Every structure is written in structure tokens, then in C-alpha cells.
């Protein structure tokens, strides 16, 4: 039943426990149609999913959301994942984590915490996150994380409104004792796509950021690791999507659907199975959404004849969908793509001096 020649087992699983979150970041990677609490998988089902994941070869689980702390059973779920034999990364904004809860999470076996920061001052961070007091709360959580001794990654999502603060962001990571910093420029899908004209950095900002990161990598060698995701639109070639579609990781949504990537639902031609209807392994090895873009056979001629074919696998499917309307096209970021002009036109039209425009914050549908 399993085509071992095509698909190796996955290494990592992103478990989106919930879409609930006190923050409302305008670039949230959750889909525009947020899933309501009543539809979330229950504790037992999640723990079963963790067991299935470990049995099929997943080594690391990224417990995320929304805000995973919005789940009352978070501690129990972490314990379930550890008992299943998984390495547990907790991805959190920190808001909603009390000192007592952090201590429980420590006992439950959280291996590593990834704390997101929206900005380096309360003013910017609370504006971007759409939540008064989030920054202060986050800093208190960071202190407690350090006190307990969790390894910490600071996850800084960067865009036009905070890229100029990159050096200070790196200093903040150092001050908080982070072992790693992820400097991730916003990827334009879902909410971020809606807010693209507010978020798109300028070319000068991007060039500066590259210099700052290169310098910091040297300065912090051996003390802090840098993971830098530069913005796509200014690149010449696309990035591989998670090491290739359906090759290293999978994503489970709050209601149990299994996706090849968090944004895969933006591709209307794909249908997704749920852990309620099939086993995780069956979905991974035989599910149509996973086979759709697995390997390189489906790639357009442009990519088939390109020496980067096995490097980027034609880039991001969701980006091809978002920009060209065709999920099977080469990523339009690619210089060789016939659609590259669309990306350049977006840059020209949208990267204008900051006006008074407001963010379109993420929110649940009003009639839920």
C-alpha cells in the first residue's frame, strides 16, 4: 500500500491545536476561515494522532495554533506527545501562559520553546499584534522561560514596520538568552496576502537586513544560531517548499484535516482528508493532496529542463496559486517564470511610503 520509492516517512508534524489566539497579527499563517472552538479535536484524538505520527517516523512535533495556550488541555497534550516518543517544540506568543502553567509544561516535557515577537517595543508590538499589553506579558513570560531553563528560540516575523529594528531585535534575543533566532520575513499567503501592501518591505530594508544578519552571524558564532528567511518577492529564485511537497513534514489543523503545508488550503483543486476518517500514514502515503505535487514529475517544462529542479522543486505551490492563479505553474518569484512581471508589478505598486492605512487584523467570522 505504501509507495516507499516515492515517499520517505515525515520527520516533523505541525499540530495546530486551535485557531484561537488573543493576538490578531495581520500576517497570521492561519487560514482566513478560522476554525471555531467547537470543531477542535478533543484531547484523546490529538494524543492518538501523536502516537500515529511517532509510529510512522515523525521525530519532532511543533505544537502551535493560533495560541496553543488557549487549549485548556495543553499540558496533557504535551505529555501525550512526549509519551508517544516525540520531541516537543512549543510555538507560542507567550500571552496566556502563566508562571504556574510554564512549570507544568516543564514537568510535562516541553523540549524547546519558540516565542514569537511582534516588535521590540510595547508600542510597535502591541499595534502589530492588535493587543494592548501583549509585549509586557511576553517579556514576563520570557523571564520565566529563562528561569526554568527551557531552550529558547526567538521567532521574529519581519516586515516593513519592524525590519529597521532588526539589530535591536537580535539584541533582544541575546538579552533573553535565546539559543536561536528565526528572522522570518512575512510570506504572503492568507492574512498576510490581504495585508501585503502594508507589510511588503522596501528593497533597501531587505539589503540592509542581509548585511545585518551576515554580520551578526559572525559576531554571535557559537552563542546564537541564525535562521534567516529573506522575503520571496526580492529573490531571483524561489525557495523549496519544506524540502519538497510531501517529503518531510505534515500539518494537522484544529479540526483534524491533514495538509502538506499550512497554506495548502488556498489551492482550490486539492481536497484534504481528516484524521477522523483515515490513518495518518494512509493520508501521508496515499492521500491525493500529498501525491499532487510530490516529486518532480508534475513540474512544468520550464522546471524540467532547469538545473535547479531538484533544488527548489519549482518553489511554493501556494505562491504560484496566489500570484498566477495556477498551482501547477513555476513559482512566479523565479526570474525564469513568465509570470515574474506580476511580482515586479506588485512591488512597484505596493511599496510606497507608509500612509495612514490600517491593518486588516485576523478575526473569526462574525456568525460563528
Partner 1 sequence: MSSKRIPVLPRGVRLHFDKVRGQNVLLAPERTLFLDDVGHRILLELDGQRSIALIGQHLAAIYNAPEDAITSDINEFIDDLADKRVIGFADA
**Dist CA 181 CA 347 (whole Å):** 27
Task: Choose the binding region for partner 1 from 128-136, 221-229, 258-266, 285-293 (rule: CB under 8 A).
Answer: 221-229
DSSP class of residue 32? S
Does residue 116 bind partner 1 (CB under 8 A)? no
**Dist CA 91 CA 86 (whole Å):** 15
Helix (H, G, I), strand (E, B) or coil at 213: helix
Q: Of 262, 200, 261, whose CA–CA distance to 231 is shortest?
A: 200
The listed partner (ligand SF4, partner 1, none) that binds 263, CB under 5 to 8 Å by sort, is: ligand SF4
Spatial neighbors of 27 by CB under 8 A, at least 6 apart, are: 157, 159, 186, 191, 192, 195, 199
Task: Choose the binding region for ligand SF4 from 211-219, 275-283, 304-312, 356-364 (rule: CB under 6 A).
Answer: 304-312
Does residue 192 bind ligand SF4 (CB under 6 A)? no
Helix (H, G, I), strand (E, B) or coil at 260: coil
Question: Among 36, 139, 212, 225, which residue interacts with partner 1 (rule: CB under 8 A)?
Answer: 225
φ, ψ dihedrals at 199, nearest 5°:
-105, -25
Q: Of 273, 321, 322, whose CA–CA distance to 293 is shortest?
A: 321
Does residue 157 bind ligand SF4 (CB under 6 A)? no
**Dist CA 150 CA 131 (whole Å):** 26
Residue closer to ligand SF4 (CB basis): 91 or 306? 306
Residue closer to partner 1 (CB basis): 173 or 329? 173
Spatial neighbors of 151 by CB under 8 A, at least 6 apart, are: 111, 112, 113, 179
β-bridge mates for residue 90, sequence order? 63, 113
The listed partner (ligand SF4, partner 1, none) that binds 179, CB under 5 to 8 Å by sort, is: partner 1
52-91 residues in contact with partner 1 (CB under 8 A) are: 55-57, 59-60, 85, 87, 89
Question: Among 13, 142, 261, 270, which residue interacts with ligand SF4 (rule: CB under 6 A)?
Answer: 261
Question: Among 7, 11, 140, 146, which residue interacts with partner 1 (rule: CB under 8 A)?
Answer: 11
Task: Choose the binding region for partner 1 from 130-138, 143-151, 250-258, 351-359 (rule: CB under 8 A).
Answer: 143-151
Residue with nearest beta carbon to ligand SF4: 261
Smallest gap from Cβ 70 to partner 1, in A, equals 23
Phi-psi region of 49 (alpha: psi -120 to 50; beta: other; left: phi over 0): alpha
**Dist CA 316 CA 329 (whole Å):** 10
Does residue 329 bind partner 1 (CB under 8 A)? no
Residue closer to partner 1 (CB basis): 9 or 295? 9
Task: Choose the binding region for partner 1 from 189-197, 201-209, 216-224, 307-315 (rule: CB under 8 A).
Answer: 216-224
Does residue 336 bind ligand SF4 (CB under 6 A)? yes
Contact residues: partner 1, CB under 8 A: 9, 11-12, 55-57, 59-60, 85, 87, 89, 111-112, 114, 149-151, 153, 179-180, 182, 221-225, 227
Amino acid at each position: 500500500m505504501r509507495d516507499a520509492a516515492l515517499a520517505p516517512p515525515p520527520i516533523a508534524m505541525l499540530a495546530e491545536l486551535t485557531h484561537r489566539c488573543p493576538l490578531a497579527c495581520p500576517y497570521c499563517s492561519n487560514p482566513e476561515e478560522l476554525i471555531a472552538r467547537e470543531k477542535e479535536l478533543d484531547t484523546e484524538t490529538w494524543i492518538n494522532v501523536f502516537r500515529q505520527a511517532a509510529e510512522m517516523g515523525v521525530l519532532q512535533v511543533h505544537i502551535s495554533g493560533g495560541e496553543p495556550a488557549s487549549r485548556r488541555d495543553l499540558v496533557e497534550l504535551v505529555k501525550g506527545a512526549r509519551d508517544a516518543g516525540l520531541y516537543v517544540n512549543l510555538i507560542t506568543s507567550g500571552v496566556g501562559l502563566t508562571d504556574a502553567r510554564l512549570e507544568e509544561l516543564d514537568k510535562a516535557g516541553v523540549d524547546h520553546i519558540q516565542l514569537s515577537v511582534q516588535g521590540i517595543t510595547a508600542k510597535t508590538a502591541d499595534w502589530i499584534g492588535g493587543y494592548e499589553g501583549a509585549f509586557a506579558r511576553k517579556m514576563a513570560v520570557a523571564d520565566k522561560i529563562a528561569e526554568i531553563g527551557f531552550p529558547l528560540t526567538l521567532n521574529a516575523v519581519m516586515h516593513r514596520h519592524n525590519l529597521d529594528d532588526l539589530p535591536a531585535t537580535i539584541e533582544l534575543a541575546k538579552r533573553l538568552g535565546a539559543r536561536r533566532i528565526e528572522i522570518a520575513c512575512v510570506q504572503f499567503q492568507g492574512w498576510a496576502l490581504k495585508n501585503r501592501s502594508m507589510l511588503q518591505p522596501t528593497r533597501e530594508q531587505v539589503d540592509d537586513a542581509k548585511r545585518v544578519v551576515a554580520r551578526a552571524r559572525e559576531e554571535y558564532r557559537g552563542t546564537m544560531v541564525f535562521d534567516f528567511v529573506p522575503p520571496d518577492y526580492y529573490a531571483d529564485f524561489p525557495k523549496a517548499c519544506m524540502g519538497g511537497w510531501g517529503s518531510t513534514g505534515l500539518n494537522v489543523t484544529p479540526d483534524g484535516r491533514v495538509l502538506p503545508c499550512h497554506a495548502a488550503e488556498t489551492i482550490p483543486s486539492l481536497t484534504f482528508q481528516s484524521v477522523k476518517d483515515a490513518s495518518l500514514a494512509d493520508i501521508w502515503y496515499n492521500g491525493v493532496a500529498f501525491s499532487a505535487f510530490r516529486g518532480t514529475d508534475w513540474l512544468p517544462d520550464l522546471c524540467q529542463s532547469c538545473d535547479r529542479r531538484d533544488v527548489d522543486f519549482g518553489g511554493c505551490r501556494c505562491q504560484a496559486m496566489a500570484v498566477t492563479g495556477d498551482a501547477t505553474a513555476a513559482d512566479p518569484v523565479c526570474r525564469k517564470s513568465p509570470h515574474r512581471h506580476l511580482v515586479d508589478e506588485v512591488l512597484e505598486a505596493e511599496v510606497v511610503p507608509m500612509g495612514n492605512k490600517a491593518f486588516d487584523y485576523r478575526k473569526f467570522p462574525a456568525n460563528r
